[in-house]
Structure 1
Amino acid sequence: MTTRRIATKVEIPVPETSNGTTTRNKTTKVDSPPLAGSPFLPTPLEAVLLALYPGTLLLGSLFSSLHPSSRNALYLADAQSYDPSSAPSYFAKKSNIFNVYFVKFGWFWTTLAFVLLVFSHPSLGPPLGLRLTKRRVQAGIRYACITAVWVAVTQWFFGPPIIDRSFKWTGGQCQMIYSDSPGAALKRAEMGDVREVLTHAACKGIGGQWKGGHDISGHVFLLILGSAMLWLELLPAVLRMEGLREARRIMTSDGLIRSASIEADGEAEGRSEPKGISVGVQGTLAVLGLSWWMLLMTAAYFHTWFEKFTGLVVAFGTIYTVYFLPRAVPALRQVLGMPGV
């Protein structure tokens, strides 16, 4: 009876050269053994990170339901917020400075943090250099995919964005247009047929309000999508430890499940990480911290439970497609890559 041999990964140090010097950080990768686990699932650390989002929404919603100041305030369902005159908190007003200058321009701050991280952290290429390494190019492709979804959901999707379309599909309409109040017919004519049918912006522009349909929480979607992307780009680049890069499972072209570290390029393997925190990491952490706080405030003071839940689901679906699905699909992974690999 023969004994089946299982391939193992062997790292062979390069011996001293004839002049007595030693080449450091050079290893030869032979193979990697098949491993247990599913490439479709996050690592324990990633699972904890992702669980923070529904946990934050639940915490904020419970606070809003149980706190006396929120229960006694007047909530305007059509505006999806509290009456400003009786708002239970400064953060319950849409005019609060963080909502106006951070959330409303959320993708700008997310993009700024992403660019600083990609071009300042040495794990992706020469710090503060513009050289387009393979890691930077693939990070840019992942960012472009996430941004395309953000645009389609909140800005434009061959016309009105998906949020506006879903509102209309679920029976929503502009309150002012379809009312019998004096002047409604004139405003209807001013708006025009196309704008009347689909757009939230057009309705708001004439002083109307969405009413009757399901409105996916754009704030929840934006804050989760942007911050989850930054976390999943940041952690593998900064943390060099078992449980993150090595613990991620991928399916290779031969159909076997292996550690993601098998695909780490030689340049990344040999690069030493400098001490200290780069400006990109600092900027990213600042955006992440403020994103979490505003997500908590949104959960506490804006939208219904179901509107927040659907915003979470759409954001998670996007993040899973870009950051987790490629682990199980080698062809997709060749294009999108994986952070830290």
Structure 2
Amino acid sequence: MSVDALVQLLSALHRAWIRPYLALLLTLITLGGSLLKASQLVAESYFSNRRNALNVYFVKFSWGWTLGLLLPFVFTSNYFVQRDVLFAIRRITSCVVGTAVWFFSTRFFHVIESFTGECYESQNMTVLHEFENLYTCRKHGHLWLGFDISGHSFLLSYCVLMITEEIAVVNELHKMEQKRGKATATIIKSLFIALNALLLLWVWMFFCTAIYFHDMPHKIIGTAFGISAWYGTYGFWFKKSFSPGLPPEIGKQKM
């Protein structure tokens, strides 16, 4: 299959099946995976080990991987379609907004875990009252147990939803390619394929999180944060004039 054919196939799948139902799919994965974990029907596997390579080298740095591919894609694709540098710069501020969402949400999760937890001695699970916060407890090699909202459920869901919104601009790429030239279009298509590969990886690791890690409330709330952050930005704020705006294809559809 040629690159052009692959791009067109992926673009059609996103338009017809992925983008309209992705938030629902993520919700179902969280609920279904949590039920499977609670029922203990899923056998241990390579992916149930927190030290598996995908978790250590990709998920732990998921925002960095996402941003590293999104930034060049958003700028080049939006400039390619609109031929407006200021518009392209405005659009990449969506990544700045996403970074702020990631930073403040994960810090909030840490505050909740610290506020609701206690320090335990890891061998016999006795409460250690002398360690009153999460950081000093863990620094001394002990176990802190609090309400641990799943950062992976939050960030992976937010990443896949954000990627899906931003790559929708490829639908406009096909119309502009003959006018704008193929060299830049080839770069955009390569980034598009790479982002789809990353999207598939994030969905898989989101599924592994659902069936192997955290308790159901932790994953439900984490996923709810991810979906809410996506809807609050792309579904509401980015439609306003005082915002990074929507990708050209989405702006025309009025999401």
TM-score (norm 2): 0.75
One of 45, 51, 55 as aligned partner of 2:28: 55
Asked if 1:337 is matched to 2:248, the reply is no
One of 44, 50, 64 as aligned partner of 1:108: 64
SS across alignment from 1:210: strand
Give the conservation status (yes or no) of the 8 Å contact 1:221–1:311.
Answer: yes
2: CA distance, partners of 1:335 / 1:103:
29
Give the aligned length: 227
Aligned match of 2:138: 204
Asked if 1:172 is matched to 2:117, the reply is yes
Cα 1:176–1:152 change in 2 (3 A) is: farther
Please report the RMSD computed on the Cα atoms of aligned residues, expressed in angstroms: 3.4
1:29-61, CA deviations, whole angstroms, 9 ceiling, x for partnerless residues?
A: xxxxxxxxxxxxxx9974412212112223322
| Identical positions, percent | 27
1: CA distance, partners of 2:132 / 2:85:
46
**Structure 1 residue 66 displacement after superposition:** 4.8
**Structure 1 residue 68 displacement after superposition:** 3.6
Give the conservation status (yes or no) of the 8 Å contact 1:113–1:287.
Answer: no
Aligned match of 1:226: 159
Give the conservation status (yes or no) of the 8 Å contact 1:234–1:281.
Answer: yes
- The one-letter code matched in structure 2 to 1:165 is V
One of 133, 140, 145 as aligned partner of 2:92: 140
2: CA distance, partners of 1:305 / 1:180:
23
1: CA distance, partners of 2:164 / 2:25:
12
2: CA distance, partners of 1:62 / 1:51:
17
Aligned match of 1:73: none
TM-score (norm 1): 0.58
Aligned match of 1:238: 170
- The one-letter code matched in structure 1 to 2:48 is A
Give the conservation status (yes or no) of the 8 Å contact 1:220–1:298.
Answer: yes
1:266-300, CA deviations, whole angstroms, 9 ceiling, x for partnerless residues?
A: xx8x9669676612101211110100000000000
1: CA distance, partners of 2:181 / 2:38:
47
1:143-178, CA deviations, whole angstroms, 9 ceiling, x for partnerless residues?
A: 111111211122xxxxxx211211234x3122249x
**Structure 1 residue 222 displacement after superposition:** 1.1
- The one-letter code matched in structure 2 to 1:231 is T
Higher gyration radius (CA): 1
1:64-213 equivalences under 5 Å are 64-66=37-39, 68-70=41-43, 88-121=44-77, 124-126=78-80, 133-154=85-106, 161-169=107-115, 171-176=116-121, 188=130, 196-198=131-133, 200-211=134-145, 213=146
Cα 1:286–1:163 change in 2 (3 A) is: same
